[in-house]
Structure 1
Amino acid sequence: MKIIIFLLLPMIILAGNQSFKDIIIKKDNRQYTCSILSVDEQSLKIIYEYGQEVITSWDNLNKVILGDLGEVYTAESGLKAEIILIQEYLNKRQESLVEEEEVIVPDEEKDFSFGILYMPANFDDSKITESDLSIIIGTRYITIERSLPVFEGQFTAKLKRNWLLTLNIGYQYSRVIENDKIVGSTGIETLESIRSIFLDLGTRLYLKSFIGNRVRPFLSMSIGKKIAFANAEAKSGGQSAEDKNYENYLEDLNSPFFIGLGFGAEYYFNPSISVTTNLKFYYMTYSAERKIEEPYEPTEISKIDQSNIITRVGIGMHLYF
């Protein structure tokens, strides 16, 4: 549901600008708010406020109220204005609506933009299981207890009219609890905090603008690196094993290279300000090595070399200059 809301936000904003000023009353006395699009001697074409477009006969109606013209038809007296005058009024009203909607996308002189993107949704795996450890140590797993949203700064530079170069810098904070379950003991619980910076370089290709040039869909592609900074401390259970490089291990585990593909749309309030929504898919690869030393036991080395795909949804705002 969140994905649908974010991706449809430009349409939701646009819907607020659509004016439904006309009223029709049918033979059963039910009243409907609508916009009348055109008329002729036998019928009128209307669009209801929920989006359905229909053609109905004058004979099916008890009354028609047309914007500033007021009551133009009743079942008792028929048309109260000439069809040609009603259609002329509709044409002028449509022209004024088009002029209101005519917002130009960034003009040729605006080569750069800066924006902020907020990504509350992160559909990532919340548990990593290491199955290559010995039975003496048991199963070690890492569970993300709290992962805050990603905030991303976006810089763009125009390469061509519909093609931009993008540089994104993001930040995220996560708190992690690791439990080492050891046979015959309560195990060790360790609290870690991880601060991550995202850096990626890519391109954005805008597709054909529509709806008065207010909405511009786009495709995006990027490559980048996530850089993690970890801090770890024991919460309970004592210390039964000595890690030679535990914090480095956490940082490597959370510092993947990635390739990103996405799509989205921008809605322009004016040539300098827009709101944007997008859906991004990231293919990530990462590797990490951890050394664990038990008393009277040889050093255990745990290695992870994996890849995965995550999805993020974002909403933000851009300033063009």
Structure 2
Amino acid sequence: MGKIMTANVLPDGDVVKEWGSTGINHCDQIDEISPITSDYIFTTYWDGTAHDRFTMQNAGQKSSVFTKIIVKIYCEETTPGLKIHVTPYINGSPLSGKYINCPSTPGWVTDTWDNLEYDKNAMNTLEIQVRANIADKMGVIFIYSLYAEFTYSTPWAPDEWTDPIVTKNGNYAYTSQSFKWNTDSMEILWEKAWYYQYEVRRSIDVWDFMQPGFLCLYCFVEYSTNLPSIVETWQSLIEESDIWLKLCCGLFSGSDEEAELKSPALYLFPDRWYIVELIFKRRQQNQSFTLWTESEWCGGLPLTGCHLGFEWVLMTTSSEVS
């Protein structure tokens, strides 16, 4: 039911601040995956009931089913046996709390909450609470970093895909990516969508579309694909944030726009590898930028946008040089 993927989210707000901290905002002291030991929160032996609680970044994946949370903490204790009691909250309700022992020198500890089934809206309410159960011991616990790793799947999205292949030749750049659905995922896509959309986002300052549309009213990206019955949708003023001015008329610069191919969902089949190759004009060379590939379903006629609904999932993110 869709490819199994993981994503990390960091603390981004304070709900309760009862621990000590090296800064006013406790979340800012621990919001990194690569720990910085000069910033931390801490609690001492007499604070056995004191706790900190943090909001977490949004999950960021529409239409996904989240099945597992792993909380990862980089911490240390000054006395053996000191424990952190960790409790995730979703929709304001706690999951079962778990005790984690910190090492005597800074190191990672983790615990897992699995067999879950939450949607994106629920996961966007995630909060993490930490409490030290150390009232009967002398000592201090330091937390230098804390984050949560999600495991999720998107039931309608492709089940497999390759990393995009990027090549360059003179003034042109080429991307190529393949993907396919299993039967159960394809059946869900058929139920949801009028169209499947494959998208590549990048900075148009470095890679632009190849050919402007007639009188600057629409733009097409040059492509080669075995996706059936491609609809060359015009990128309207409303849908793509002045993309027709940016790409066709060259009146403005911009970034992170989409090269998009739209194919009728009912014309797609499971267990078949689809490949999309796109061609871009290199406006700048030897510039670093980020390339994203995405899948999206769309409900709506070709020139009406997705007025009957849409959902998207990020497939790959890669750092490239123009």
User: Which TM-score applies when normalising by structure 1?
Assistant: 0.24
More strand by share: 1
User: Which TM-score applies when normalising by structure 2?
Assistant: 0.24
